[in-house]
Chains A and B, each alone.
Chain A
């Protein structure tokens, strides 16, 4: 019992470790998707004029893993991930579908014209209702969709190369093998 004096020290150390971890590794503004392993919600949208043939729930069940990217012309963070998506398209790594969130057709079309179109097809969610069905609460968000159209994961905020490698690549490899 000579080490009894260590009890408060150990208690404090324990609390400090938990808080240290939470401070640097947990993000309270990130709400993981509720829809994991559930099928994508029902929806059917018109395309951004000139960019694809529209987007519906059925379009996402393609027989391979695809991405559904929620974007908008007014979204500054979307510009950060855009060049990377263009690269993915050029390398034919994965098909990306674009859900244009609370935008106007003209602004969206202009934005895609200026920055390039990484999307296989697009859909315009003018009122943001489809976004809500998907549990979107900010733009950009990117859903990983399975071969049979189920939601595998959601990336909140711009997709970086590192994030893609750790959170999307494993799904792509799984199907390939």
Chain B
């Protein structure tokens, strides 16, 4: 009996930990409807915590992140679409609040810059490599002038005599 009780007690003690680790990261009031709550999570994961720079508000325990999560929950509960919730936050904090910046005129350089640099680099490399192979062909083609030929013959002659 005693032998059996021990693992049972241990298991009972561990239960809360198992439950905690599989539930919310931060303990706060979730929406009752699990479908809505999962939308809240999905939106929050894409919203930048403004005071911690590269964390989403879902991951952050900052005060402002908590407030913003609350707002996301409120908007979703009020029946806003995902787009409307994001709009609400962008109106107040700008595109910066989105971890995934939208593609528009002011962000063209951000999105296309790397591609442009890649293309520019590729072109530069092609030009460079072509130029080099040309140069090596030219090297082969170059012939000695008659004077140079005579000079060499003279040196070789004097060498063989000495």
Query: What is A's interface to B at a CB cutoff of 8 Å?
Result: 28-29, 31-35, 102, 127-129, 132-135, 137-138
Contact = CB atoms under 8 A, between A and B. Distances in A.
Majority DSSP secondary structure for residues of A touching B? loop
Contact of B94 (A29, A34, A127): A34
B114 to A, nearest CB: 14
Nearest to B90: A34
A129 B74 CA distance: 12
Contacts of B71: 132
B80 interface: no
Contacts of B63: 102, 128
A29 B50 CA distance: 8
Contacts of B25: none
A65 B160 CA distance: 100
Contact of B50 (A31, A33, A35, A129): A31
A33 B96 CA distance: 11
Contacts of A28: 53
A29 B68 contact: no
A128 B90 CA distance: 17
A135 B96 CA distance: 12
Interface residues of B, number: 14
Contacts of B90: 34
Interface in B80-96: 90-94, 96
A102 B66 CA distance: 13
A129 B67 CA distance: 8
Contacts of A129: 67
Nearest to A41: B92
A28 B53 CA distance: 8
Contacts, number: 36
5 contacts: A31-B96, A102-B63, A133-B92, A135-B93, A137-B51
Contact of B67 (A29, A32, A33, A128): A128
A138 B51 contact: yes
Interface in B49-90: 50-51, 53, 63-64, 67-68, 71, 90
B53 A132 contact: no
Given A102-B63, A128-B67, A29 B53 contact: yes
Contacts of B91: 34
Interface string B79-118: 0000000000011111010000000000000000000000
Given A102-B63, A137-B64, A132 B50 contact: no
> Considering the complex of A and B, which 7 residue pairs feature the smallest CB-CB distances, nearest first?
A137-B50, A34-B94, A135-B92, A31-B96, A135-B93, A128-B67, A137-B64
Contact of A34 (B53, B64, B67, B93): B93
A34 B92 contact: yes
Contacts of A31: 50, 93-94, 96
A103 to B, nearest CB: 12
A139 B53 CA distance: 16
Contacts of B93: 31, 34, 135, 137
A43 B92 CA distance: 14
Contacts of A137: 50-51, 64, 93
Nearest to B71: A132
